[in-house]
Amino acid sequence: MNLSDRLQNGKLLPLEDKPNNVSTQTDDTKKKLDPLPYRGSKEDSKKRLKSILESMDKVVIKNENDSMIYAIETSSFFKFKDDIDFLFSDEEQVIHFRSASRVGHSDLGVNKKRMETIRRLYMEEM
């Protein structure tokens, strides 16, 4: 997958009108989360984030470049796939993200919980 396909006008893809997705770049207050601040340099922040993603059993990093990481999480039982995008903004010194289920309507808050877990792990002292 080409990472440029994961962007629209330099931002992460917009969210669908379903409750099974969250993003830092949405105007929908029910689905909006705060971006992750850089922890040191972009390289330090990327290394830290990749380490967290690699430690998660059901998450696989599918592609990355200097400014993005694209990962997929597959659920254990039904094998549903969720797309997880991270966009590094040097200008803002933050990591924007989007996490969205590919199918269905509700995810029972799974995408939001995942991103809150990643935030907690990312913000912990090293």
pLDDT tens over the chain, length 126 residues:
689 999 999 999 999 999 999 999 999 999 999 999 999 999 999 999 999 999 999 999 999 999 999 999 998 888 899 999 999 999 999 999 999 999 989 888 899 999 999 999 999 975
User: Domain limits at 71?
Assistant: 3-123
**Cα–Cα distance, 47 to 117 (Å, whole number):** 17
State the pLDDT at residue 81. Answer: 95
State the pLDDT at residue 1. Answer: 67
Residue spans of alpha helices (H) in the chain? 42-55, 110-123
**Per DSSP, which regions of the chain are E strands?**
7-8, 11-12, 21-23, 36-37, 59-64, 68-74, 81-89, 94-101
State the pLDDT at residue 126. Answer: 56
State how many domains the chain has: 1
CATH of the domain at 46: 3.30.310
State the pLDDT at residue 121. Answer: 97
